[in-house]
Amino acid sequence: MSNAGPGELALTEPSPREAVVASLASTLSRAVALGDAVAARVVHEAIGRLLGLPVAPEG
C-alpha cells in the first residue's frame, strides 16, 4: 500500500528492466535528435523486445 495522498505519485524503485528501458529511451531520443535512423531503429527494436512486443519486419 502506498503512502501517497490523492493526486500524488507513489515513488518506487524501478525494476532492472524498467531502468534499462528508460536508458534505452534516452538513447533513442538522442539517436533521433542526431538523425541516426539506423541507431534509432535498433534501439526501438530492443525496447520492443524488452517489453515483449512482436518485432515488425523490415521494409
In order, the DSSP letters of 1-59 are -----TT-PPP-PPPHHHHHHHHHHHHHHHHHHHT-HHHHHHHHHHHHHHTTPPPPPP-
In a domain, 57, yes or no: no
Number of domain units in the chain:
1
Burial (0-12, 13-18, 19+ Cβ within 10 Å), 52: exposed
Q: Is the pLDDT of residue 58 over 80?
A: no
Q: Is the pLDDT of residue 54 over 90?
A: no
In a domain, 12, yes or no: no
- Over range 46-53, report the average pLDDT: 90
> How confident is the model at residue 4, as a pLDDT?
63
C-alpha cell at 28: 533513442
In a domain, 2, yes or no: no
Domain, as residue range, for 34: 23-50
In a domain, 59, yes or no: no
In a domain, 17, yes or no: no
In a domain, 9, yes or no: no
Lowest mean pLDDT: which of 5-14, 36-45, 47-56? 5-14
**pTM, entire model:** 0.68
C-alpha cell at 21: 528501458
